[in-house]
Amino acid sequence: MMKNKTWAAWLSFLGGPMGLHRFYLFGLGDSLGWLLPIPTALGMYGISRAQEFGIDDMASWWLVLPLGLNIAACSLNAIVYALMDAQKWNQRFNPSIDPSSACGQTNWLTIGAVVLSLLVGTTALLSSLAYGFQRYFEYQIEEARKISQ
């Protein structure tokens, strides 16, 4: 089965946190594809804890971070796939066909995946880091106040 670069970039961007791009490129036996949903599930649980217990819940600070990092990593993966040279793509993922085949070519849909991956991946990474660090430092200030009283 020929692997299309545009499909791989969009699957990495949209379904990457669930491992869909790994299954598309490497098959259902790919262990990393089966591990990718774990940080996604932890992050979703952290978001639900923050909604249920409030933003002062320490466990939600740490659980949200893997989701942001996973989304950012999958967005970066989409960018790498989309910007890969056509010959290199075909040699790596379609070794049985001509290296200049159309399935490794870049088109406007591929560029759209790059643009959205840059936007969403950067936002997810910086938001999760800012949320985690802000909550951590607020916790440290509260603990320092308790000690000083």
Domain boundaries, the chain: 5-148
Contact 5, 104 (CB under 8 A): yes
Tokens standing for residue 29? 């036996």
Annotate 73-97 with DSSP letters as a single string: HHHHHHHHHHHS-HHHHHHHH-TTS
- What does the pLDDT look like over 24-54, one tens digit per residue? 999 999 999 999 999 999 999 998 998 998 8
Contact 40, 128 (CB under 8 A): no
- What does the pLDDT look like over 60-104, one tens digit per residue? 888 888 999 999 999 999 999 999 998 899 889 888 887 777 777
> In angstroms, rounded to a whole number, what is the distance separating the alpha carbons of residues 56 and 114?
35
pTM for the structure as a whole: 0.85
Contact 104, 89 (CB under 8 A): yes
Q: Which residues of 109-142 are buried (b: 16+ CB within 10 A; e: fewer)?
A: ebeebbebbeebbeebbeebeebbeebeeeeeee
- pLDDT for residue 98: 77
Helix (H, G, I), strand (E, B) or coil at 55: coil
